[in-house]
Amino acid sequence: MNPPGARLLIFLVAGRSMFRLVMYGSAALLLPVWGTGAYGGYAAAAGAFFWLTALTSTGPEKAALNLLARARRTHRPLLGAVLAFACGMSLPPAAAFTVAAVVARPATPTLYLGLAAVAVALGANALLVGLLRVTGRPKGDAVNYVLLAVAYGLVTVTTVVGGLSPLAYVTGQLVALTVANLVLVAVLGVPGVRARPGLLRLLAGTALLMGASELGVHAAMSALFVELTLTGWPPVHAAALYLADIGWSAGVTLMFYAFRIFQPGTALRLAAGGAPAALRRAHGLAGWAAGWSACWTAGWGLALPTLDGYGLPPLLAAMLVTKAPGFLLLNLAVFTMENADARSLRVAALGSLLGMAAVVLLGALLVPALGAPGAICAAGAMEAIQAATILRGRRSSPPVDR
């Protein structure tokens, strides 16, 4: 499978960028509308469900792009299985939120259900447009995101002008995503061929391992939001952490999106014999990532207690900007390992799980003492531990095919 041409790549990135700009910009605009208290509650709830989007989309989409790129006879069964997963994951949270919104008062539990449903629907949307790309209809990807950007913009304008509540805003998002997903399912069609159990096990196992790295990143951040909420810091900390994270996510999601676009071609090239040299480069990148991230985490951990007088937004922005090099180096290495061979994929997945555990434990120490800056500092352990695990698990023998 050839990589997309320059014009198509620009078209795809522009569509995704427009949606992300509207989605993240809208979230920032609503702070003066709702006030710090209501916005802090919304931010804490939204941050707690970052992992659901990754769970729904990251592993299944990566597995679909990897396996469908190589598939011949199993193409249609694989497509049907992934399509069924996207639909099956989206329905329960949306139904639960609808029931809660109808029979219960607009309260915090209903808002949490709504944000969980939005997170799952957003992940399902990413998975469905990934299927469009791998089945030869990449322009539908950009069209989907442009239309979603328009819908999100209308929901935001209505919320600002009408002074709507966070619950109404979330309801509008969920309606827009549900309509978009139904249209995508209709465009993709139902293959009508059932996958054999062995093929389903392969798909599930590949999705679990390939999704571990990104899921670990989002799950770790969600855990930090929970820790921040439980430790009783004022809502301004949750609001500042949420705004900082969506700014960070604007760049991170584009990077991961670029990885998705080039993943099918990369998987084929590595399977054709390019894996050994690529893995050597990946291990080198992991070494640099481990050093940078360890120094970053230690440095900010020592400096933060002396920076109490600085405002939260500039402090969090400085932390994330200086965190970026280690994050980029690590994820370039992980991208290669996920598409090279089975053992490298397992090592990268293990590193993500260990990194997530390290973030949660370090967050339990830093968040009660430092609030939102402590959460960002704890997040740096993710890159340091995952990179160290990759270096620990490297080997000199040639990789094996999946």
Q: What is the pLDDT, as a whole number, of residue 139?
A: 86
Q: Is the pLDDT of residue 229 over 50?
A: yes
The mean pLDDT value for 27-49 works out to 86
What does the pLDDT read at residue 397?
Answer: 43
6 pLDDT higher than 90: no
Per-residue pLDDT averaged across 366-374, rounded? 94
Percent of the chain residues topping a pLDDT of 90? 36
pLDDT of res. 132: 85
% of the chain beyond a pLDDT of 70: 90
Which pLDDT band holds residue 203 (cuts at 50, 70, 90)? confident
Q: Which one has a higher pLDDT value, 394 or 137?
A: 137
Does the structure show a pLDDT above 60 at 136? yes
Mean pLDDT within 142-146:
92
CA trace torsion 395, 396, 400, 402 (10° rounding): 40
Residue 77, pLDDT score: 74
Instruction: State the CB neighbour count (10 A cutoff) for residue 280.
Output: 12
pLDDT interval class at 316 (50, 70, 90): very high
3-state SS string over the chain? Answer: CCCCCHHHHHHHHHHHHHHHHHHHHHHHHHHHHHHHHHHHHHHHHHHCCHHHHHHHHHHHHHHHHHHHHHCCCCHHHHHHHHHHHHHHHHHHHHHHHHHHHHHCCCCHHHHHHHHHHHHHHHHHHHHHHHHHHHCCCCHHHHHHHHHHHHHHHHHHHHHHHHCCCHHHHHHHHHHHHHHHHHHHHHHHCCCCCCCCHHHHHHHHHHHHHHCHHHHHHHHHHHHHHHHHHHCCCCHHHHHHHHHHHHHHHHHHHHHHHHHHHHHHHHHHHHHHHHHHHHHHHHHHHHHHHHHHHHHHHHHHHHHHHHCCCCCHHHHHHHHHHHHHHHHHHHHHHHHHHHHHCHHHHHHHHHHHHHHHHHHHHHHHHHHHHHCHHHHHHHHHHHHHHHHHHHHHHCCCCCCCCC
Give yes or no for residue 1 having a pLDDT over 80: no
What rounded mean pLDDT belongs to the chain?
A: 84
* Cα 179 from Cα 177, distance rounded (Å): 5
For residue 247, pLDDT over 60 is answered with: yes
Whether the predicted pLDDT of 399 surpasses 50: no
Instruction: Tell me: pLDDT of 341 over 60.
Output: yes
Is the distance from CB of 209 to CB of 66 less than 8 angstroms?
no
Average confidence (pLDDT) over 199-212: 74
pLDDT, residue 396, reads: 43
98 compared with 75, residue with greater pLDDT: 98
pTM to 2 decimal places: 0.76
User: Is the confidence at residue 179, as pLDDT, over 90?
Assistant: yes
Question: Mean pLDDT across the stretch 121-148?
Answer: 87
Q: Which of 193, 73, 187, 176 is nearest to 129 (CA)?
A: 187
How would residue 170 be classed by pLDDT, with cut points 50, 70 and 90?
Answer: very high
pLDDT bucket at 400, cuts 50 / 70 / 90: very low
Summarised one tens digit per residue, pLDDT across range 55-71 is 887 777 777 766 766 65
Please check the confidence at residue 349 and state whether its pLDDT lies above 80: yes
Angstrom distance (rounded) from CA 90 to CA 121:
6
Is pLDDT at 2 greater than 90 in this prediction?
no
What is the pLDDT at residue 192? Answer: 57
CA dist., res. 129 & res. 72, Å (int): 21
Which of 14-23, 24-33, 234-243, 264-273 comes out lowest in average pLDDT?
A: 264-273
